[in-house]
Every structure is written in structure tokens, then in C-alpha cells.
Structure 1
Amino acid sequence: MRKYTSLGAILLILCIGFILLIPLQTFLVIEPRSTTGDSVLFSLPDNHSFSVRYTHSIHLSEVEEFYESTLSNQIHQTKLLYEDTAIGMPANAEGNEIFEVTKDGKYLISNMEKVFPYIDIRIGQVVANHRLVLEGKEYPLADYFVKGSVVRVQLKKQSLYDQWKGVTVVGKR
């Protein structure tokens, strides 16, 4: 009987270790690259989409880049919405992309097929006000990281242990 109790305890410990240490849930992870600090984890919505919104530093108009996660946890850019075709913004679409002017006069490039393992962003110090947008809610990156610093946005599977070890988890379901 004692043998079965020990075996049961070992199995229980292994199961708990499995649950705590095996990465199961995919998060949008933003981590500092040029400064020290903790990563911030954002729960992805059911449609696995998000966007990054910012003010262009030259023509001071809003730009929004739309993304989705791929099955291999890559970042797929699907659309780009902006207000001005001046310096630093595309004047037309490429390849199979679709360029159009929206009803409110903004420029939209859709059907984009750009895929990235990660995106590095330098958080604006004065004008840019970079914001992550999830399900319509904005999260200013300067609320989590130092203005002017570089952060890396990527998709990663995280274990429960990863979620508990001192990082900020936003939008936990």
C-alpha cells in the first residue's frame, strides 16, 4: 500500500510540474530590448488579431498597422491604415495588395502578406504615442516601458510559471 501511495505522490508532482512548466497558452509578449525591465504579456483575443497605432512623427497623422498571429506564432501584417502619403508612407500597394481610399479619406492597404518573427518598436518620446490595440482597447506602450526605448513584440507560448514570475499580464481570461 505504501508503494502505491509513493507512486501516486510522484505522479501528482509530475502532473503539477507539467501543468506549471509546459507552455500552453500563446501571448503577445512585449519585452524591453534597450533597457532593463520585465516583459508584458497580453492575452490575444479569440480572432488572434491586434494592431499598433501611433502618430507619424513627420506629418503628425495617425497610422495603424493590423496584424494576426499565424499557426507557427509568427506575426502576419494584414492591413495598413494611414492619413497621408508623404515621407515614410507608401503611395501605392505592392504585389497582390489592395490600395484604396476609405469613406473618411484615409488610405488603406489590405491583403498584405508580410510575415515577421517579431517586430521591434522604438517607443516615441514626444509625438508617436505608440499604442497596442486589442479588441478596441488601447494600451499605451509608454505605460509599461521607458519612452525612447526599443521593445520587441512577438508571439510566444507561456507556461503558468512564466505568467507568475513577475511579468505584467494584461487582459488575462
Structure 2
Amino acid sequence: MNRQRTKRFFLGLLLASVLVGALLPLPTLLVGEQQGATRLAIPLVLDQSFTYEYLHSVLKTPVQEKFILAPGHDLLLESTTYQSLGVGTPFLPGEGELENHNGLYVLKGQNRTFHQLNLGLVDFTKQAILYRGSRYELADFFTSGSLIELQVKSMTPAELIWLSLQSFQERR
């Protein structure tokens, strides 16, 4: 009789843990069209930072902007990395601390906070989100000329599953 009770107790505990886990909110990077549906959701659980990468429209060299999650689900621009100085690349003393690592420029200490990022998708800029070794090409989710919004919101695993199902249905 004791074994039966113990078994039921652990089964109940497991079920309760699964239910609580399904309702536990997680910070999630949502990427969607402005005023439209979310096309990509990346839970920021194991690492609360991501990189936005693109080719500079004038210099045609790669730029990486590293963002970290700030209080209130804001995005803090931690650093910008690029390969050449020129039009549109930050370099003034008030913009942060610029370091030169053998021709790779890293601007740190920018301390710019955003509630959301608004982007326009342009084919030749090869825009992507990098997170924990994965690369998400924005052109795989949006058409050229799309106005894109990146923001962080709390979502439960159940909501993420529902969002994934909706996205899957829309792509069919």
C-alpha cells in the first residue's frame, strides 16, 4: 500500500511540475512585421543576449550589434563590431569606447536602451539574428521591404507552442 501511495505522490508531483513549467513566463525575443504577426520567437532562457548582424549598406562590410536583456524587457545595446570606419559607423568619443583589434573595431559602453527595434528588410544587407550558435536569416521569414519589429515579452511555454502552431499554419 505504501508503494502505491509513493508512486501516486511522485506522479502527482511530476504532473504539477509539468503544469507549473508550462505556465512559467520566459523572456522571449519576438520578431514580426510592424503591426503584424510574429514570425520568429526565440526564448532567451539560457542566454539573455543576442546579436543582430547585417552588411553595412554603404561600406558593404559586416556589422554586429550585441544586445542584452535589460530590466523591463528593454534591449541594451552592449557593443557594435565592424571592420571599417566610414559613413554611418560610430567612432566619436561620446558614442562609447572604441577599440581596434587588428582592424576589427569594437565599440563598447554605448549604453543605449530600446523598448523595441524597428528595422527595414533590405535584400543585400543579409540581416540575421544570432543566438547561441544559431543563425536566423530575416529573409527566410520576411519579404524585402518589410518593416520588422524586435521586442522582448514574457511568454509561457504553452504560449510559445501555440504561437509555433499558428506560424506553421500560416506558412502552409
Q: 1:21 to 1:47 in 2, by over 3 A?
A: closer
Distance 2:163 2:25 in 1: 18
3-state SS of paired residue (1:165): helix
Cα-Cα RMSD: 2.5
Pick the structure with more helix per residue.
2
Alignment of 1:109 onto 2:107:
yes
Distance 2:45 2:122 in 1: 26
User: Which residue number corresponds to residue 99 of structure 1?
Assistant: 98
Q: Deviations over 1:53-89 (max 9, x none)?
A: 1001111000000110013211000001111221111
Distance 1:116 1:144 in 2: 23
How big is the shift at 1:113? Answer: 0.7
- State the identity %: 17
Q: Contact conserved, 1:66 with 1:79, CA < 8 A, in 2?
A: yes
Alignment of 1:72 onto 2:79:
no
State the AA in 1 paired with 2:26. Answer: Q
Q: Contact conserved, 1:54 with 1:131, CA < 8 A, in 2?
A: yes
User: Which residue number corresponds to residue 84 of structure 1?
Assistant: 84
Work out which structure has the larger RCO, using CA pairs closer than 8 Å and 6 or more positions apart in sequence. 1
Give the TM-score of the pair, scaled to structure 1.
Answer: 0.76
Alignment of 1:60 onto 2:60:
yes
3-state SS of paired residue (2:85): coil
Q: 1:164 to 1:33 in 2, by over 3 A?
A: same
1:1-173 maps to which residues of 2 (within 5 A)? 24-33=25-34, 36-94=36-94, 97-103=96-102, 105-125=103-123, 127-167=124-164, 168=167
Runs of 4+ aligned structure 1 residues displaced above 6 Å come to none
Distance 1:82 1:133 in 2: 16
3-state SS of paired residue (2:71): coil
Greater CA drift, 142-151 or 157-166:
157-166
The answer for unaligned runs of 5 or more in structure 1 is: 1-14
Q: 1:118 to 1:38 in 2, by over 3 A?
A: closer
Distance 1:68 1:106 in 2: 21
Distance 1:45 1:162 in 2: 15
State the AA in 2 paired with 1:86. Answer: G
